[in-house]
């Protein structure tokens, strides 16, 4: 299993989540930037790190120094990496060959795989540690998308066979993201790469109800709760407006609570009309635009004490009104974006 801890573990904290994943039996950790790998190495994480995105030439020395396993798929990139390995005085450095079977992002085409594999070995510095592809629509229930994923899998397995026919061991073969990991055990091959499901949310397009209808109930529980405090309470008279742009005006006398969190913390401005913040079990709407560092909620006539805990989203047992998925649904996005947007200046507390 290769657990995705890229993007600060989808906002949950890469170092801590990496340690938990490894303690639970993960074999690899997936990252998207060399800097993410360096952070894990400096924190004492020694497990294999798989870099899912391409790095720039000036980052290759750091990649090799930190024993990060890269994706490769073209000869120029392979040659640059080989030079960095030679410069570091290393050899037999494992890389994974990315194959583009229908994502249209990175990877050689299946018919090129054997040739690129031969070139990897011809450097005398690199080894083929694995082969990978990425499914474009495995998380979609739309008609035709399951067949598209099946075609991707068939193209990938053909690429693997082509590499084997060239007398080359393809190494660890892997293609399953979260949705395919849950639904397609026949696609698992040597390793799977779960991402969003590790953090308690269902793949985009396939909520809990989808799996219940398929008679394969899967109980995922959100990991993150975004919590702050009511740092000030202010009386607002009828006719007064709140926040930038005067987008909300009080229709009657009310009280507002000020929360010290805003879009610089990852709480996007566009969430304002939809966000219901929980304070002592009651839901209070955000009023006006979310600011860079603060936002305001309408308390009405309800007595709320200053410094009360306010839960912006999270699992129901956290007291939240909304999960990240429900907030994503209301704003036309996905849970991945909601959680991964929470910036590093927001303290993480692990329980």
Catalytic sites, residue numbers: 6, 244
Beta carbons within 8 Å of 23's beta carbon, 6+ residues apart: none
Paired with 84 in beta bridges are: none
Paired with 257 in beta bridges are: 233, 297
Query: Please, what's the largest Cα pairwise distance for the chain?
Result: 79
313 neighbors 322 (Cβ within 8 angstroms): yes
Report the C-alpha gap between 317 and 285 in whole angstroms: 20
**Number of other CB atoms surrounding residue 266 within 10 Å:** 20
- φ, ψ for residue 174, nearest 5 deg: -150, 145
* DSSP conformation class of 99: B
Q: Packing angle between helix 113-122 and helix 75-87, nearest 10 degrees?
A: 20
Q: Which residue has the tokens 């209808």?
A: 213
Instruction: Tell how strand 295-298 and strand 309-313 pair up.
Output: unpaired
The number of C-alpha atoms within 13 Å of 314 and in the hemisphere containing its C-beta is 17
Question: Measured between alpha carbons, how far is residue 150 from residues 99, 137, 146, 172, 338 in Å?
Answer: 15, 10, 6, 20, 30
Task: Show the DSSP H helices in 2-74 as ranges.
Answer: 6-10, 14-23, 34-42, 60-65
Report the C-alpha gap between 76 and 163 in whole angstroms: 19
């Amino acid at each position: 299993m290769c657990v995705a801890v890229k993007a600060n573990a989808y906002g949950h904290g890469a170092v801590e989540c990496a340690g938990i994943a490894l303690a639970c039996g993960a074999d690899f950790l997936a990252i998207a930037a060399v800097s993410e790998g360096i952070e894990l190495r400096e924190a004492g994480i020694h497990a294999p790190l798989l870099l899912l995105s391409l790095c720039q030439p000036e980052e290759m020395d750091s990649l090799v120094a930190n024993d990060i396993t890269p994706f490769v798929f073209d000869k120029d990139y392979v040659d640059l990496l080989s030079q960095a390995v030679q410069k570091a005085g290393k050899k037999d450095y494992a890389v994974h060959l990315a194959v583009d079977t229908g994502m249209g992002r990175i990877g050689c085409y299946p018919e090129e795989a054997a040739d690129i594999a031969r070139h990897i070995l011809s450097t005398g510095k690199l080894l083929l540690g694995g082969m990978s592809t990425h499914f474009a629509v495995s998380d979609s229930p739309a008609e035709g998308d399951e067949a598209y994923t099946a075609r991707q899998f068939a193209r990938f397995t053909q690429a693997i066979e082509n590499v084997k026919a060239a007398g080359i061991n393809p190494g660890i073969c892997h293609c399953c993201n979260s949705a395919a990991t849950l639904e397609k055990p026949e696609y698992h091959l040597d390793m799977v790469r779960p991402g969003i499901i590790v953090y308690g949310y269902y793949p985009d397009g396939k909520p809990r109800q989808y799996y219940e209808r398929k008679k394969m109930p899967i109980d995922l529980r959100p990991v993150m709760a975004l919590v702050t405090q009511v740092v000030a309470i202010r009386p607002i008279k009828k006719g007064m407006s709140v926040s930038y742009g005067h987008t909300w005006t009080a229709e009657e006398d009310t009280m507002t609570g000020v929360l010290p969190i805003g879009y610089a913390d990852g709480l996007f401005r566009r969430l304002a009309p939809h966000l219901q913040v929980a304070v002592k079990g009651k839901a209070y709407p955000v009023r006006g635009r979310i600011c860079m560092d603060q936002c305001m909620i309408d308390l009405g006539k309800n007595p709320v004490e200053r410094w009360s805990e306010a839960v912006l989203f999270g699992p129901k047992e956290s007291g939240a009104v909304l999960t990240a998925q429900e907030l994503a649904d209301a704003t036309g996005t996905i849970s991945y974006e909601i959680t991964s947007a929470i910036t590093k200046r927001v303290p993480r507390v692990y329980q």
